[in-house]
Amino acid sequence: MRKTFASISIALGLMFAIGTNVNAATVHYKDVKESDNFYPSVQYLLDQKAISRTLPQFRPYENITRGQVASILAKVLDDRLKEIEYTEWYSGANFIDVPKTDQFYPYINKLDWNGIMRGYYVNDTSSSARAFGINQPLTRGQFAGVIIKAYEIPLIQLQSYKESGASPSDIFDGKNFTYPWGQEIATLQTTGILSGYDDGNFKPSTPIKRSQFANMLVKAANGELYFFNQNNLLNDFEQLGISKETSMEKIKTLTNNTTVKYLASYRDVRYLNAVTIAIMIYKEGVILFEDINVKMAVSKDANGKWQLNVEKIN
């Protein structure tokens, strides 16, 4: 009996399948050298036409503002964003600090419509006016929230984060994620998009530098990370006579596998109670679970999408 299940066919699949074209443009900024670790990321943003080629400097060590982030992110996401539906009752986003004549308004408007960057209510009530904070620096916590919404990244489950060896920090008190941004930052940490500091903390309120934003954005847009429906996977094992508990134990042993690497289980932000499993896929191959007489083949389908085939060992 052979069971097949494919990776989630959503923006996530595109998100980690985008190639970084490093030959289409040459970084011209006077303050960006080829030896800088952010050089490829800046070049990627140039290739995506997300930053200006007319300015002489990139200013890598300056804080990036929320307005600048909106402009860059909207250009990188491009046609993956839903078009705004204007009506006689809706004429566009209304932020008290972003006039419609502002250069960043079209991008802020697009991200607001798509629910990626919504700003905040001035008096902390839904009946008050909204501000976007256009000139305020983007913090590490805000970055995590924005990227997760932009790419529909499932949030890591608390138990899975604990099992990953998480230590108490400013995003995790040892028992629960801290509010705000704890779970979001933990998600990006385990997927390799955002890392912590030497002291083990993540500093959610610390502003992000322009070079840091470029590097982290490119990690979110380019990589080998894929998400699969965990419930479907365990059901497929179960139909082969293997309990879900045993199947999950076997999957969790793949932390150092050279074909696929298990990362963690995540709660899908799109569907209530849906759980996905995050894995790094390095190559096609077959993984043997000889003690339960099951093998899992990793391959691509006719459309080039990764799939996992679970079957008994003959």
pLDDT, mean of each 10-residue run, the chain (314 residues) = 39 38 71 96 96 96 98 93 94 95 97 95 81 97 95 89 92 96 95 93 97 94 82 93 95 92 79 78 94 94 89 91
Listed in sequence order, the DSSP H helices in the chain are 11-15, 39-47, 66-77, 105-113, 140-151, 158-163, 182-190, 210-221, 230-238, 244-251
The predicted structure's pLDDT at residue 272: 55
The predicted structure's pLDDT at residue 12: 40
The predicted structure's pLDDT at residue 164: 87
Q: How far is CA 61 from CA 64, 115, 182, 207, in A?
A: 9, 29, 25, 11
DSSP label of 226: E
**Amino acid (1-letter code) at residue 129:** A
Token pair 């429906």: residue = 229
Domain boundaries along the sequence of the chain: 2-13+224-312, 152-206
CA–CA distance, 90 with 86 (Å, rounded to integer) = 5
Instruction: Using alpha carbons only, give the angle 2, 229, 281 rounded to the nearest 5 degrees.
Output: 80
Q: What is the pTM of this model?
A: 0.79
The predicted structure's pLDDT at residue 226: 86
Identify whether the C-beta of residue 220 lies closer than 8 Å to the C-beta of residue 15. Answer: yes
Q: How far is CA 277 from CA 30, 48, 190, 273, in A?
A: 43, 30, 12, 13
Residue 178: helix, strand or coil by DSSP? coil
The predicted structure's pLDDT at residue 25: 60
